[in-house]
Chains A and B, each alone.
Chain A
Amino acid sequence: MARPLINVPAKVKRGRAFEIKTLISHVMETGYRYTTVGARIPRDIVTLFSCSYNGEEIFRADLSPAISANPFITFFTVATENGTLEFKWTGDNGFFETATATITVE
């Protein structure tokens, strides 16, 4: 079950910076490990994370095999207007997950 967990304050003051915390369930298999019988475990990671605010991309991260399982990504942005934050995770083997959060700007 790949379930994202988003934490965004429900209300933010206009012009203020606020923190966005995201957590997603993912094995982040590096591709460098072998099974006990010597078969290589294929890479299975999230490769790209992006966040858009009312359709405009405000944050993007490329993920690498060195990143731990269940990647936790946190960043700040400035509140400008009421709207929707959309989060996207893209990864190996066609992995794709989205989540949204709404914020009210006072």
Chain B
Amino acid sequence: MSRSTPSPCAVGRRAAAATITALLLLAVAGSARATDIPLDQRRSGYADLGRDSKAMQDDDTVNPATLWVLDGEALWNQKAGAANRACADCHGDATASMKGVATRYPAFSPARNGPVNLEQRINLCRTEHQQATPLPFESRDLLALTAYVGRQSRGMVIAEASDERLKPFIDAGRKLFTQRLGQIDLSCAQCHDDNWGKRLAGVLLPQGHPNGYPLYRLEWQGVGSLQRRLRNCLIGMRAEPYAFGSSEFVALELFLMQRARGMTIETPAVRP
């Protein structure tokens, strides 16, 4: 064996060193700015979709998330729990009663003394009014109901939080967003505020707006929630993901919605 040929192990080490250097460069570049995206420069992930994915989102009969929305509609009208009541028995026609609801969530819940997201609100209704068991996070039924409720706000703009009680939670969300986490020691803001539009290992860095959730992600081959997406990012940062429904995730969700205030809801969107 020739001495000049590096061993596979050395090649691996060199590749790892190159990766670390790249990440350090990103971290250094990231620390330079760390400011919010100007409101007029915000862009939905939709703008960066390919032609085919855009066509998929634009046409309800082509968008596979419609299958979830239809399931949600069936569940809306289906009686559940010991109270033997359906969502429709209290809320009536969702196309009227749920219009605009998703633009205001996460919202403050006096019962929880904190913000709850749409999934948690649905589960609160289930436990309190239907006397049914809460649906597990990321279960098909909960995603279907959330997508159905969210769908009623499509085309409407995300509301600015007017509830003063939400303020400390928005600040907590902002803090989590800008906090370095995980083995890679990255914060959300370093990618999504400071370096959006650039590429990380060939993948476009989006601004990370929550305006289409729950959405159909081609990578998932299914519909998933914003928290599932946040989990993906945390795993990529090699940080331990928060639990579904945890106060950290809801605070992040709240902050992201406020960061995207005034943007249009696309639920259920399609993303790669």
Contacts and interface: CB of A to CB of B under 8 A. Distances in A.
Interface of A: 1, 3, 5, 7, 21, 23-25, 27-28, 68-70, 72
Secondary structure at chain A's binding surface: helix, strand, loop or mixed? loop
B67 A70 contact: yes
Given A68-B221, A69-B221, A69-B222, A23 B71 contact: no
A70 B64 contact: yes
Contacts, number: 35
A5 B66 contact: yes
Contacts of B70: 3, 5
Interface of B: 61-62, 64, 66-67, 70-71, 74, 140, 218, 221-222
10 contacts: A1-B71, A5-B67, A23-B66, A24-B67, A25-B64, A68-B221, A70-B67, A70-B221, A72-B62, A72-B64
Contacts of A5: 61, 66-67, 70
A2 to B, nearest CB: 9
A75 to B, nearest CB: 14
Contacts of A23: 61-62, 64, 66-67
A58 to B, nearest CB: 20
A1 B223 CA distance: 14
Nearest to A24: B67
Contact of B67 (A7, A21, A25): A25
A27 B220 CA distance: 11
Nearest to B223: A70
Nearest to B140: A1
Contacts of B71: 1, 3, 25
A21 B63 CA distance: 11
Closest 10 CB pairs of A and B: A7-B61, A69-B221, A70-B64, A25-B67, A1-B71, A21-B61, A3-B70, A68-B221, A3-B67, A5-B66
